[in-house]
Amino acid sequence: MQSERFLTRLGAFSIRRRRLILAFTVLFMVASAVIGTRAFSVLEDEGFEDPGTESAAAADLVDGRFGGGDAEIVVVATAADADVDSPASVDAGTALAVRLADHPGVAEVTSYWTSGTPPSLRSNDGDIALLLVTALDGEGENALEHTEDAVDELDGASPALSAGISGGEALGAAFGETIEGDLARAESIAVPITLVLLVLVFGGLVAAGLPLLVGAIAVLGTFLSLFVIGSMTDTSVYAINLTTALGLGLAIDYSLFIVARYREELARGRTMEAAIIRSVETAGRTIAIGAATVAVSLSSLLIFPMYFLRSFAYAGIAVVLLAMVTSLVTLPALLAVVGTKIDRLAIFHRRTRPTTEGFWYRNAHRVIRRPAIFAVTVVAVLLLLGAPFLRVQFGNPDARMLPESNGARQATELLQTELSGDASESFPVVVDGVGATSGGDPTIVLTEVAGEVSSMPGVDRVDTVNGTFVDGEQVAPPTPRSAGFADAGGGWMSVVPSIVMASGEGEDLVSSIRDLGARVDAVAGTDGEFLVGGETAQLMDTRSTIGDRLPLALGMIALTTTVLLFLLSGSLLVPLKAMIMNLLSLTATFGSMVWIFQDGNLSGILDFTATGTIDTSTPILMFAIAFGLSMDYEVFLLSRIKEEHDRTGDNEEAVAVGLEKTGRIVTAAAMLLSVTFLAFATSGVSFIKMFGLGLAVAVLMDAFVIRGVLVPAFMKLAGEANWWAPAPLRRLHDRFGIRESDDDAGDDEWLDSGRDRDREPAVDEPVLA
């Protein structure tokens, strides 16, 4: 087949040009290390919303047209004498407001002390007051740095006030800084543990070091790809953790497959060159198909408009391809240099056992003898573990997902608990296109809407162009800041809730305000826009977007995976079986994550604060990654089972032998990958922690439970039907299918340079240099 000939030539090329390949690899690593370290500077800390929704349109109008919106930087100042109106507090607060305004990136500072002491900027007990900092477009980071400097100066100069910083800009920076620190810690944990496990798998330092070296190349390449992608399009900073873990894990897994097959071929008596080529032909084919399944799963994220999800598709696909190319090109070149010395520096020698005495062979026959009992029991347990997912509650990331010691979280919690209403959860309502039908004065409609919204259950107050409204009545006159609430064609208002918006009550409030749209049209006599924004509205819109596009994403994954597995197996049942088993495994994983992270079980051990919700995008992201990885292992196992079935025609023996030949490698690969994911589960950001733990559970469950029990059980129950396909599809597979060849015709392709094909090459043939 063309694919086999290509892999044969690729292996031969890696041998002949090994010095050139390794020199290029070194240059790539150096460039990646120099350029890739700048990745954090081009990544964003947002991207959770669909830019085409009503809530996004409201935010764009408020920020762009009205130049307002709730301040992205909120300084929470606490008076040492518990009185923000004492002379010392007034002096210190006024000086701080002046200092904050003294920066070219700051558009406006609204302070309790300089804005007429409005009650909305003071706590109920009078010991806390707020300063709202609004930055110019594109100056949020600079304004935040200036605010931090001003707060530090305050802490050193005045004992009257102490201050913390909250707001979207501060929380975004806190998430980014935490993730950057988590990354360094995770790598310091994962790398030594991975090396120890590789030594245990291979028994020696040389063989163990090769996959780790390939993993290091993949990690550096991940940073480079993130920098390049982030420079061209919006890319989420959260992609760093998981794509780094994915790159390291896949590179080690793929190189593990190559090195294991290379040692197997050497043990069969092949020369170094023939063993490398055969490894690339066989394990390389599996890696290529497995990488394709992972890339397809990740590409389904491109269907969703939130760039948080799209970031993992961009970076993830780049990382998968990088891991594949490094394993199929750089690693064979390294093997050509190491040669038969791959077992040097051996720490211990593993005794080679006959296939029929291996653990996985005996385990397969144990399951095959009672397939129905094993299948029913395991399926029942997986469904039981998945049951909590039926009550999943979705939410947006918030300050509680940061460590309790984080300053931005502490300041945000003060806002939520000490001030009237919840200023940190205030959200905009935009009424546009009403100026022409209200005598050129949109404030008429804005005043009526503000009064009606302020009387709704769950609303503390409404701030708009004509002042502050509570319970349907105006309770405070306009301030200098109020002018920004309207222009000639429309305006907006800031709704401060008295309830927790991340709840059913919060969603009911958003729905009630949106229902006002038709009534506003009737009052104003226009078809202008009535838009509700804010995090809860964004959550509702995002859920709707995901629900609408999820069937397309799942259909894309199912179709392409079915085609790939059919081309590999020539069967219709095998792809269906693989998808069902993967869905069972992922159901159990998702249920476990709800039980832990939504319900708060194990929160003390894992050190996180349960919010009662799961981030909306998390299950989609975890599904795409875990499904791809599961299919990766499925391809590796299925290729060896198919190889054995083609050779013997015995279904049961093919399953047992295939499981024995791959079981140890698949479980080792799963443990190595899970170590990487578990290292990221130490993150201080709770949804990154959930990513790491959830993917580790999914990978281990797939390797040990699905591959070790359900695969032999289901393949025994199906019998020879495993390999059935209708005659037209059988002919299609015969022509285009991906199959293993047992002949050695390709082993000497490296001799294309013109040397004598009848002569067996020496291990250190100089012409290969």
Question: Average pLDDT, stretch 16-30?
Answer: 93
- Residue 749 pLDDT level (bands cut at 50, 70, 90): very low
d(CA 58, CA 641): 56
String of DSSP letters for 122-160 = BBTTSSEEEEEEEEPTT-HHHHHHHHHHHHHHHHHH-SS
Confidence at residue 764, expressed as pLDDT on a 0 to 100 scale: 36
Taking the alpha carbons at both ends of the chain, their separation in whole angstroms is 29
Confidence at residue 698, expressed as pLDDT on a 0 to 100 scale: 92
Is the pLDDT at 321 greater than 80? The verdict is: yes
Which residues of the chain does CATH 1.20.1640.10 include? Answer: 2-45+173-388+574-728
Confidence at residue 198, expressed as pLDDT on a 0 to 100 scale: 80
Confidence at residue 420, expressed as pLDDT on a 0 to 100 scale: 63
Question: Average pLDDT, stretch 95-114?
Answer: 86
Give the chain's mean pLDDT: 83
CATH topology assigned to domain 2-45+173-388+574-728 = Multidrug efflux transporter AcrB transmembrane fold (1.20.1640)
Q: Which residues does 438 contact at the CB level (< 8 Å), separation at least 6? A: 444, 445, 524
Confidence at residue 352, expressed as pLDDT on a 0 to 100 scale: 62
Confidence at residue 382, expressed as pLDDT on a 0 to 100 scale: 94
Which residues of the chain does CATH 3.30.70.1320 include? Answer: 72-166
Amino acid (1-letter code) at residue 256? L
DSSP state of 720: G
Q: Which residues does 159 contact at the CB level (< 8 Å), separation at least 6? A: 80
Least confident range of 436-450, 465-479, 585-599, 733-747: 733-747
Strands, E, within 479-625: which ranges?
A: 490-497, 530-532, 614-615
- Residue 615 pLDDT level (bands cut at 50, 70, 90): confident
Q: Full-prediction pTM beyond 0.85?
A: no
Is the pLDDT at 487 greater than 60? The verdict is: yes
Question: Average pLDDT, stretch 79-102?
Answer: 90
Is the pLDDT at 603 greater than 70? The verdict is: yes
CATH topology assigned to domain 72-166 = Alpha-Beta Plaits (3.30.70)
Is the pLDDT at 461 greater than 70? The verdict is: yes
Percent of the chain with pLDDT over 70: 91
Burial class (CB in 10 A: 0-12, 13-18, 19+), 103: buried
Amino acid (1-letter code) at residue 406? N
Strands of the sheet containing 106-111, edge to edge, are 106-111, 128-135, 73-79, 161-166
d(CA 13, CA 11): 5
